[in-house]
Amino acid sequence: MSVVRVEGLYKAFFVKRGSGWGWGKDELRAVDGVSFSVAQGETFGLVGESGCGKSTVGNCLLRLTIPDQGRLVFHGQDLARLSGRALRRARSGMAVVFQDPQSSLDPRMTVRGLVAAPLRVGRHVRRFGTDLEVEQRVAVALREVGLGAEHMSRYAHEFSGGQRQRIAIARALITNPAFIVLDEPTSALDVSVQAQVLNLLQDIQKRRGVSYLFISHDLTVIRHMSRRVGVMYLGVLVENAMADNLFLRPLHPYTQALLAAAPIPDPRTRQNLAVLPGDPPSPVRVPPGCRFHPRCPSALPVCKQSAPPRVYMGPEHVVACHLYKS
């Protein structure tokens, strides 16, 4: 039973052309036909290089960005078609944790105000009880993330990075969301703190059965967290599989290259890191056919002409590549 289903998501931005006096605008296809679904209680990891559109997918799901095409089904409602009050009500079942806990917490609010904010916002959303009840819920949420009620009157800048991210997680939890977008939630943290926050997120998932969309560029983190993983390259989902499958038997050449480029944390192994030639092309000028073909070590002539279809290689393993036939 999927909590969130994304079908054919498409989002383009328009950027000013070049640096000269050009009037024209270029179409930057940030997300081009991405589909996946997230089941209840599972973590779907979205991995890719920076600029591949993984955050745009998250922002579209949260409707911080309005998608151009596609369906975003959450609890049976298409978020892409909702607006105003209906959107707010539907979105109240979602929450988000951003990368930088410093800027995602208003410096002018106390922890109490920050964590309680989702309960108090606006007249459109149902108000949650009296001040005392709100206070109690804040205390419960803080305890769940490992902070005490005594922290409530402090400001965000009085906390360390890891603690701030815990506050942001408490804020995300307080409305009992069914689905949380975690947009690089540990990228801004120390490695030692990263592990704590990741384990906290897993504990919360076990306890509450909440679904995560976990966006990250860090393969080890993605592997640790996710049940299923989607690999993005230049706005398309090139491979989507169960995490174990994907890491043990990557099919798409890009996934293979990505995994080969990840260093193994062992000083005794002499590593021959395979590095892809070149940089990812600008998303403004996407290569025709398969987007990966200019850098692909096993490109075929057909790759230049037509975009690869989605091929089902076994249950829940989808790859978009001409090398495979189902």
Partner 1 sequence: MLTLRILSRNPSAAAGGGILAVMVCMALLAGVLAPYEPVEINLSERLQGPGADHWFGTDEMGRDIFSRIMYGARISLRIGFFVVAIAGGLGALIGATAGYLGGWVDNLMMRVMDVIISFPSLVLAMALAAAMGPSLNNAILAVAFVMIPKFARMVRGEALAVREMPFVLASRVAGAGHAWIILRHILPNCLNSVIVLATLTLGDAILIAASLSFIGLGAQPPMPEWGAMISVGRKFLMDQWWYATFPGLFILFTVVGFNILGDALRDVLDPRIRR
Chain residues in the site for partner 1 (CB under 8 A): 62, 64, 88-89, 91-92, 94-96, 98-100, 103-109, 117-118, 121-125, 168, 171, 175
Minimum distance of partner 1 from residue 151's CB (angstroms): 18
State the Cα–Cα distance between residues 30 and 45, nearest whole angstrom.
Answer: 18
Q: Read off φ and ψ for residue 241, nearest 5 degrees.
A: -155, 170
Secondary structure in 3-state letters for 148-170: CHHHCCCEHHHCCHHHHHHHHHH
Tokens of 160: 């360390």
Question: Which of 4/237 has CB closer to partner 1?
Answer: 4
Is residue 293 a contact partner of residue 36, using CB atoms and an 8 Å limit?
A: no
Question: Which is closer to partner 1, CB of 144 or CB of 183?
Answer: 183
Instruction: Compute the distance between CA of residue 38 and CA of residue 33 in angstroms, rounded to an integer.
Output: 17
DSSP assignments along 226-242, one per residue: -SEEEEEETTEEEEEEE
Question: Token pair 């400001």 is at which residue?
Answer: 155
Residue number, 157 or 325, with CB nearest to partner 1: 157
Least Å distance between CB 106 and partner 1? Answer: 4
Q: Which C-beta is closer to partner 1: that of 144 or that of 184?
A: 184
CB atoms within 10 A of CB 156: 21
* DSSP secondary structure, 69-106, as one string: EEEEEETTEEGGG--HHHHHHHHTTEEEE-S-TTTTS-
116-144-97 Cα angle (round to 5): 60
Residue 319, beta-bridge partner list: 239, 311
Closer CB to partner 1, 91 or 151, in the complex = 91
Closer to partner 1 by CB, 74 or 247: give it.
Answer: 74
Which is closer to partner 1, CB of 217 or CB of 310? 217
Least distance CB 89 / partner 1 (angstroms): 8
